[in-house]
């Protein structure tokens, strides 16, 4: 068997600057592709834009049963305004911690499943096999995963593990993300003669009042709870002594299963049409959910129990993932979000991952791969 050290691989992945924007994931994707090819995987690269490289690596496969999918994104968020006390790209360690941008979210998760897959490769080459999906562009609207699903290049998968940071707790889904921009228009005039103009900000104030009375078509979900709406930004007016002829807000809605984002957009349009407001959807990631009773999810819960000190209870996570688009692209298999990173450290200054948890993940992923493949 070919042993690949997950610590060393995490450090290698951290050295690639894949801050998004601009992303530029090609070199990092090629590095992972070469490792997987060396272990016998068939590797295909897909670019949704120049240097924005995702890859799909497959090993084994038979007609009887689809493969198990492990997935992760290689892009990271920017470093932020606050200075780091550690080098963000060197993979510095201090005891159990490895520091770096993307250490938790989610290069350590990728290193864990790639290490497990490379080690087991000779066994996984027989039977249903495995498909590894490494995506670019997750941090800005899941662009890479959406591209793979839209291009219909994903093939088959019977289950998906999204190795985002969960401290090895298996989550059964997350809310959907639908962002909208709403615009009102008016007629400008001198501020001393407002009666001659038509004030777009006053219209927008009424729009915001209307939104407070908006009812989602599904009011609550047994595991996820209620859908939410937040008005996040507002812009309007050029100077104090003019009647503003344009105002804009952006709205962040977090949806639960049963809420279709296209219908949601139409409901907002009809609610706000009397104000003359224009509504545009700007970000769209559907919710992700698998019934906890699903047989494979129960297997995952069972395998996580020793690491968690108790059997997990069904929960969903607060952030959204590539899992939504990949599930669509794979035709709706069960999915869990399960990875070694610390959820509270994602996107933080001095982000780190626990190397102990990374080792746990390798064990856990190895077990899930072997159970799926009977290897």
Strand 42-47: give its sheet, edge to edge: 42-47, 53-59, 130-135, 68-73, 159-162, 335-337
Cβ 324 to Zn ion, closest distance in Å? 13
Cβ 75 to Zn ion, closest distance in Å? 9
CB nearer Zn ion, residue 184 or residue 321 = 321
Q: State whether residue 232 is helix, strand or coil.
A: strand
Cβ 343 to Zn ion, closest distance in Å? 10
CB nearer Zn ion, residue 60 or residue 173 = 173
Of 160-168, 201-209, 270-278, 363-371, which segment contacts Zn ion by CB under 5 A? 160-168
Cβ 106 to Zn ion, closest distance in Å? 5
* Residue count, binding to Zn ion (CB under 5 A): 3
Return all residues near 330 (Cβ < 8 A) that are at least 6 apart.
Answer: 69, 154, 155, 156, 157, 160
Q: Among all residues, whose Cβ is closest to Zn ion? A: 105
Return all residues near 109 (Cβ < 8 A) that are at least 6 apart.
Answer: 72, 163, 164, 165, 339, 340, 341, 361
CB nearer Zn ion, residue 73 or residue 221 = 73
Using alpha carbons, list the distances in angstroms from residue 247 to 62, 198, 236, 242, 275. Answer: 57, 12, 4, 13, 12
How far does Cα 21 stand from its chain's mean position?
15
Of 127-135, 161-169, 225-233, 326-334, which segment contacts Zn ion by CB under 5 A? 161-169
- Please report, as residue ranges, which positions from 164 to 183 form the binding site for Zn ion (by CB under 5 A): 164
Of 159-167, 221-229, 336-344, 363-371, which segment contacts Zn ion by CB under 5 A? 159-167
Cβ 72 to Zn ion, closest distance in Å? 8
CB nearer Zn ion, residue 106 or residue 114 = 106
Cβ 147 to Zn ion, closest distance in Å? 17
Cβ 47 to Zn ion, closest distance in Å? 20
CB nearer Zn ion, residue 20 or residue 255 = 20
The answer to whether 338 touches 300, Cβ cutoff 8 Å, is yes
The answer to whether 21 touches 115, Cβ cutoff 8 Å, is no
Per CB under 5 A, does 351 bind Zn ion? no
- Please report, as residue ranges, which positions from 274 to 313 form the binding site for Zn ion (by CB under 5 A): none
Residue that is written with structure tokens 């609207």 in the block: 141
The H or E element spanning position 212 is none
CB nearer Zn ion, residue 140 or residue 271 = 140
Query: What is 100-143 written as a DSSP string?
Result: STTIIIIIHHHHHHHHHHHHHHHHHTSSS-EEEEEES--TTTSH
CB nearer Zn ion, residue 25 or residue 119 = 25
CB nearer Zn ion, residue 138 or residue 183 = 138
Q: What angle do CA 24, 346, 86 make, to 5 degrees?
A: 80
Alpha helices in the chain (DSSP H): 6-14, 26-38, 108-124, 143-150, 200-211, 261-272, 295-308, 323-329, 355-373
- Please report, as residue ranges, which positions from 50 to 109 form the binding site for Zn ion (by CB under 5 A): 105-106
Tell me, residue by residue from 12 to 51, as one string, x for binding to Zn ion by CB under 5 A and - for no binding: ----------------------------------------
CB nearer Zn ion, residue 145 or residue 277 = 145
- Please report, as residue ranges, which positions from 118 to 137 form the binding site for Zn ion (by CB under 5 A): none
Report the alpha-carbon distance of residue 17 to residue 78 in Å, rounded. Answer: 10
Query: What is 326-337 written as a DSSP string?
Result: HHHHTTS--EEE
Cβ 204 to Zn ion, closest distance in Å? 34
Cβ 308 to Zn ion, closest distance in Å? 21
Strand partners, 225: 221
Binding site for Zn ion (CB under 5 A): 105-106, 164
């Amino acid at each position: 068997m070919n042993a690949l050290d997950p610590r060393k691989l995490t450090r290698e992945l951290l050295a690639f600057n894949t801050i998004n924007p601009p992303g530029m994931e090609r070199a990092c994707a090629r590095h992972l592709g070469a490792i997987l090819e060396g272990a016998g995987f068939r590797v295909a690269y897909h670019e949704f834009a120049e240097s924005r490289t995702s890859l799909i690596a497959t090993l084994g496969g038979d007609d009887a049963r689809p493969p198990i999918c492990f997935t992760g994104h290689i892009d990271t968020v920017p470093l932020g305004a606050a200075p780091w006390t550690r080098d963000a790209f060197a993979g510095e360690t201090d005891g159990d911690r490895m520091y770096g941008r993307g250490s938790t979210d989610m290069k350590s998760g990728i290193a864990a499943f790639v290490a497990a897959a490379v080690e087991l490769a000779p066994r996984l080459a027989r039977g249903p096999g495995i498909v590894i999906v490494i995506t670019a562009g997750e941090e800005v609207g899941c662009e890479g995963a959406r591209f793979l699903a839209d291009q219909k290049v994903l093939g088959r998968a019977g289950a998906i593990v999204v190795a985002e940071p969960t401290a090895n707790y298996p989550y059964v889904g997350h809310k959907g993300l639908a962002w909208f921009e709403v615009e009102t228009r008016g007629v400008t005039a001198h501020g001393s003669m407002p009666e001659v103009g038509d004030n777009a900000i006053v219209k927008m104030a009424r729009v915001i009042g209307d939104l407070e009375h908006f009812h989602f078509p599904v009011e609550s979900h047994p595991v996820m709870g209620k859908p939410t709406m937040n008005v996040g930004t507002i812009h309007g007016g050029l100077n104090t002594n003019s009647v503003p002829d344009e105002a804009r807000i952006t709205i962040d809605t977090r949806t639960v299963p049963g809420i279709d984002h296209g219908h949601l957009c139409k409901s907002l349009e009809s609610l706000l049409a009397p104000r003359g407001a224009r509504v545009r959807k700007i970000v769209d990631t559907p919710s992700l959910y698998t019934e906890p009773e699903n047989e494979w999810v129960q297997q995952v819960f069972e395998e996580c129990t020793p690491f968690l000190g108790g059997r997990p209870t069904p929960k969903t996570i607060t952030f959204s993932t590539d899992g939504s688009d990949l599930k669509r692209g794979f035709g709706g298999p069960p999915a869990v979000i399960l990875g070694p990173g610390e959820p509270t450290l994602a996107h933080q200054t001095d982000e780190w991952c626990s190397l102990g948890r990374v080792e746990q993940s390798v064990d856990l992923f190895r077990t899930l791969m072997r159970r799926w493949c009977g290897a």
